[in-house]
Structure 1
Amino acid sequence: MVYQLRCDGCDFEREHADWADANRDARDHEAEHGDHWVRIVDLQEA
C-alpha cells in the first residue's frame, strides 16, 4: 500500500509504502511545527 502525507500548514507532502514510517514522519513533522496537522491518506483503490 502507499500512504501519502499531506500537511495543512505547509507544502509538506511525502509518500511511504509502510504505515509505521508514514505515522512516524507525520508525528515528527507535527512535533516540529506545533500548529501543523498532517493527514495520512491511503492511496490504494477500493
Structure 2
Amino acid sequence: MAYRLRCDSCDLERECTDWPDANRDARDHEAEHPDHWVTIHELQRA
C-alpha cells in the first residue's frame, strides 16, 4: 500500500510505501513545524 503526505501550510507532498514511514514523516514534520498539519492519504492503485 502507498500513502501520500500533504501539508496544509507548505509545499510538502511526499509518497511513502508503508504506514509506519508515512506516520513517522508526518509526525517529524509537525514536530519541526508546530503550526503545520500533515494529512496522510491512502493511494489506491488501479
- Asked if TM exceeds 0.5, the reply is yes
Moved over 2 A (4+): none
Q: Does 1:40 align with 2:40?
A: yes
**Letter of the structure 1 residue corresponding to residue 25 of structure 2:** D
Identity %: 73
Greater strand share, structure number: 2
Q: Displacement of 1:44 after TM fit?
A: 1.3
Structure-2 residue corresponding to 1:9: 9
Q: In structure 2, how many angstroms separate the alpha carbons of the residues matched to 1:6 and 1:13? A: 5
Any idea what the Cα deviations from partners look like across 1:19-38, whole Å, max 9, x if unmatched? Answer: 00000000000000000000
CA RMSD, 1 decimal: 0.8
Q: Displacement of 1:11 after TM fit?
A: 0.1
Count residues with an aligned counterpart. Answer: 45
TM-score, normalised relative to structure 2:
0.93
